[in-house]
Every structure is written in C-alpha cells, then in structure tokens.
Amino acid sequence: MVRTPVCSDRSGLKKGTWTPEEDRKLVAYVTRYGCWNWRQLPKFAGLQRCGKSCRLRWMNYLRPNIKRGNYTKEEEDNIIKLHQSLGNRWSAIAAHFPGRTDNEIKNHWHTKLKKRIQQKLDNHDEKTECSNSEDHCPLQHNQDTNAEVHNNKNHVDPILINQSSTQIQADSWPLSPNSSLSDLSSMSLDSTALTSTNSVLEDTSFGPLEAHAEPISGNFWTETFMAENSYVPNDIVPLLVIEDLEYFCPTYEEELLSQNCLYEEYQGLFQ
DNA sequence: AATGAAAGCAACCGCAGTAGT
DNA sequence: AACTACTGCGGTTGCTTTCAT
C-alpha cells in the first residue's frame, strides 16, 4: 500500500493564503462535526486544501480562544525564561500561555524577543567586556546550555517545579488541540473567526459529509465537548453543558443559533 | 510620491512520534 | 516486528506591510 502524500498538488490542492470563504467552510465543518480526521476533512468540508493545511489554519487562527498579538511584559518575560529552559520546544512553551499558539510565539521570538536578548547581550558585553569568562555572562551561559536541554526529552522544566506565576499553569491550561463548538461562546474572537462563525448560520452546503458524520446527538456533542474543552472556564461549563444539553444543537440551525446565544450570554457575564 | 530595505507574519515542508493492523 | 496512516512539531520560506530615504 502506497501512502499518498498528505499535501499534494497533483490533485489540484490549493496553497497559500486562506480566503474568508474557505475559513467559513472550515469553521462551519469543524464546529459541526469536530476534527474526526484531518486528512478526510477537506473533502467533506468542500475545501481544496490538504488536511495539514486545514489543521494548521484551525489551530493557529480559527480555533476559539486564540489570542493575537498584544504580548504583555509578563508574557514576554515568561517566554524568555521558558525558552532558556526548554529551548526551541515551541509547543511546550505555548502550553504555558492559554490562547497563544506555538507558531505565533515562535514568530514573536524570532522577530522581537531574540533581538531584545541579543541587544542585552551586546550591552552587557560592552559594559563588562566579559569575553573570556562565562561566569560573568550568565545569560550567554543559559543560551549555551539550551542545546543540551533541548536534546534531553526527559529534562524537567525547573520553572514548572517552582511555579508561582499565574501566567504559567501548564496543568490547568493545556493547549487543547481540539477546541470546538462550545468555545465559541468564550472566545476572544478575531474578526475573521467571528465573521466565519456567524456565516456558519447560512451555510448548509455540506454535501457528502452527511454519510460519514456522526448524527448530532446529545452524546456526540457532550462527549466531544467535555473531552475537548478542558480549559473552558469553570463558570462557563455549566452554562454550556449541564443546562443546555437539550438546547445544544438539536438541529443544525438551532445549534448555530445556540452558539450565538451562548456567545452573547457569555459576553454578558463579563460586562 | 516612489522605491528599496527591513520587519512581521501566515503558511508550507519534512521529519518524528504514535496508534492501529 | 514491520508496516501504514495520521498527527504534531519545528524550521523555513515567501508574501505583505511598514519604515526609511
């Protein structure tokens, strides 16, 4: 059996920037059916994309609760600390920052933080002229040890051992790979995602997926929801799950209306 | 206003890890 | 144990935007 490439142009798959229409289709599909198989998903969602591309788009931009930009000083300091201890393990670093993606943190590191550190190093070198003793260059020393740490998968993150920062709560904030429907009510929506989500209301264009998708039932949504949304704030869970199982998606249109209602309710909680 | 350089960012690619058979 | 199918990760690319001249 020959494995077909996950990403291939031979079948005319599209590459490059995602259009709002593609976003809408992806959000609509994942919102309704979840990510049961990324490789098959584009076919059923009506997308001329490879599964990998769909996954990336969802994970980095369309997934609910994504935070974009506006890094706080505390976040940046923590990224630097974590990078010193974890090296380039961006997903591990991102796990400490709810709503941040590994890709964005990686980009932020390369475009901002790395330069900042380099400047500090340069300044430090100028002031101390510590060219021959690493004992006098602790930051440099830390960077030098990164490779060693990076190569040791069993390395225990010292920051995790004695973690006092509220920003860093690896256990309580795993970066869920599969946030779904219910998170829509708690997400900090970027404009694209919001547009896409709202547009879902009008999208009934899925074709052959019906044959493959799970029927929408309480179990389907409950199980998916509970499994995939461990980081939904506790006070939202009852609103979304316990009280609203019936209310939750008895039909597609009602489901989508529910999302909007829940989103509005959630917004109301914080006003 | 035009243009080239630099910075920022979204997306792609290839590899590693893992589950299933 | 060997192989396939799939997911996830990190490195990298290249397009777009911003800035400087």
pLDDT, tens digit, 9 for 90 and up, residues A227-257: 333 333 332 232 233 222 222 332 333 443 4
Q: What are the domain boundaries of chain A?
A: 1-65+186-213, 73-161, 214-271
Residues by CB within 7 A of strand B: list them.
Answer: A 6-7, 14-18, 49, 52-53, 56-57, 60-61, 68-69, 103-104, 106-108, 110-112, 115
Predicted confidence at residue A254, as pLDDT, reads 40
**One fold for A1-65+186-213 and A73-161:** yes
- Read off the amino acid at residue A175: L
CA–C1' distance A116–C3 (Å)?
A: 47
Encode A88-120 in three state secondary structure.
CCHHHHHCCCCCCCHHHHHHHHHHHHHHHHHHH
CA–C1' distance A17–C15 (Å)?
A: 9
Nearest by Cα to A79 from A110, A118, A105, A116: A105
In this prediction, the residues of chain A whose per-residue pLDDT falls under 50 are 1-10, 131, 133-204, 207-271
Contact A104, A97 (CB under 8 A): no
CA–C1' distance A241–B9 (Å)?
A: 36
Predicted confidence at residue A213, as pLDDT, reads 40
Nearest by Cα to A48 from A89, A93, A7: A7
Determine the CATH number of domain A1-65+186-213: 1.10.10.60
Angle A95-A60-A155 from CA coordinates, rounded to 5°? 25
Predicted confidence at residue A11, as pLDDT, reads 56
Token pair in block for residue A126: 């100028």
Determine the CATH number of domain A73-161: 1.10.10.60
CA–C1' distance A227–B19 (Å)?
A: 19
Predicted confidence at residue A129, as pLDDT, reads 59
